[in-house]
């Protein structure tokens, strides 16, 4: 399902992470083209799929993140490190 005001078709991982950021709990921007474009610019689809599972305000261990994302910790480590180097997490 395409969100109102969305011109480009975005990958599902990008849309799902954008929904997290637009949540009223986050007090984020409304869901729409500008937010989708920003998330698409900052995250690869693989990064977005993992970032959806990161805790919002408190740090978490690699073990906890891997459990929440349903991924192997050793497979996630380089991805999370790369996201940290890009300063998106």
Q: What percent of the chain has pLDDT over 70?
A: 92
Closest to 89 in 3D by CA, of 54, 41, 44: 54
Tell me what the mean pLDDT of segment 30-46 comes to. 95
The string of pLDDT tens digits covering residues 48-73 is 999 999 988 888 999 999 999 999 99
Residues 6+ positions from 2 with CB-CB distance below 8 Å: 9
Q: Distance between CA atoms of 15 and 17, rounded to whole angstroms?
A: 6
pLDDT of residue 2: 54
For residue 64, what are its two tokens?
Answer: 């906890």
pLDDT reported for residue 69: 93
Cα–Cα distance, 31 to 15 (Å, whole number): 9
pLDDT for 4 equals 59
Q: List the domain boundaries for the chain.
A: 12-85
DSSP state of 65: H
Q: What is the DSSP letter of 43?
A: -
CA distances from 40 to 66, 86, 88 (A): 22, 14, 12
């Amino acid at each position: 399902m395409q969100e109102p005001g969305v011109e480009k078709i975005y990958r599902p991982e990008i849309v799902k992470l954008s929904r997290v950021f637009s949540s009223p709990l986050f007090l984020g921007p409304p869901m729409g083209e500008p937010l989708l474009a920003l998330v698409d610019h900052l995250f690869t689809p693989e990064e977005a799929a993992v970032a959806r599972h990161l805790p919002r305000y408190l740090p978490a261990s690699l073990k906890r993140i891997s459990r929440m994302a349903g991924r192997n910790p050793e497979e996630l480590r380089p991805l999370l490190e790369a996201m940290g180097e890009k300063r998106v997490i």
